[in-house]
């Protein structure tokens, strides 16, 4: 069913989809350019995509009847667009490295939960996951901010 040709089409952008989420290659190039220019940090997008990939593998092992390959989760839909351009927004992002990792992992878990709900109303959960985690960003900042030497809780 899934061939390397289909995977290549998904990566290049020959598969139909919403504007801006079809070409994984173009999104990766834009994300790498922003990393090179130091506009974003790599912790959020990498932790987001790794969480989705690891979660998809675990779900495929637990429920083999609903096999959706990892590359479908990564290359289709708005996951790449959300991971590189929406979740890295500096205004609503945690400020510490650990906070960014927690933010990315939370976005990945929520995306998988929203995507994998059987017959759910939202086949794509990237934007909802990012919005929900944006609400938790101040709490993540408070929990992960470094303390001054000698300061008590």
Do the Cβ atoms of 70 and 56 come closer than 8 Å? Answer: yes
**pLDDT(62) > 70:** yes
pLDDT of 36 reads 94
Band (90; pLDDT cuts 50, 70, 90) = confident
Band (34; pLDDT cuts 50, 70, 90) = very high
**pLDDT(2) > 70:** no
Within 36-140, strands assigned E span none
Higher pLDDT, 8 or 51: 51
**pLDDT(148) > 60:** yes
Q: Nearest 5 degrees, angle CA 73-CA 59-CA 52?
A: 40
152 within some domain: no
100 within some domain: yes
pLDDT of 107 reads 94
Do the Cβ atoms of 25 and 55 come closer than 8 Å? Answer: no
Q: What is the mean pLDDT of residues 132-143?
A: 92
Q: How far apart are CA 95 and CA 30, in angstroms?
A: 22
Q: From 28, 71, 72, 21, select the one nearest 46 (Cα to Cα).
A: 28
149 within some domain: no
pLDDT of 76 reads 75
Do the Cβ atoms of 108 and 50 come closer than 8 Å? Answer: yes
Determine which of 47-51, 53-57, 74-78, 129-133 has the lowest per-residue pLDDT on average. 74-78
Full domain range(s) for residue 135 = 4-144
Higher pLDDT, 151 or 63: 63
pLDDT of 130 reads 93
Q: If you ran DSSP here, which 8-state letter would residue 148 be given?
A: P
80 within some domain: yes
**pLDDT(91) > 80:** yes
Place of tokens 């790449």: 80
Do the Cβ atoms of 41 and 95 come closer than 8 Å? Answer: no
Counted domains in the chain: 1
Do the Cβ atoms of 101 and 76 come closer than 8 Å? Answer: no
150 within some domain: no
State what percent of residues in the chain have pLDDT above 70: 88
17 within some domain: yes
């Amino acid at each position: 069913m899934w061939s390397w040709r289909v995977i290549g089409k998904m990566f290049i952008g020959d598969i139909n989809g919403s504007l801006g989420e079809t070409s994984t290659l173009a999104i990766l190039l834009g994300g790498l350019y922003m990393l090179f220019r130091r506009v974003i940090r790599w912790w959020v997008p990498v932790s987001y995509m790794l969480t989705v990939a690891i979660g998809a593998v675990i779900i495929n092992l637990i429920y083999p009847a609903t096999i959706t390959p990892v590359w479908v989760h990564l290359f289709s839909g708005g996951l790449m667009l959300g991971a590189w351009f929406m979740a890295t927004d500096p205004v609503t992002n945690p400020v510490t490295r650990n906070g960014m990792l927690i933010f990315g992992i939370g976005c990945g878990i929520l995306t998988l939960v929203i995507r994998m709900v059987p017959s759910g109303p939202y086949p794509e959960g990237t934007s909802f996951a990012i919005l929900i985690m944006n609400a938790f960003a101040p709490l993540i900042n408070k929990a992960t901010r470094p303390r001054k030497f000698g300061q008590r809780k």
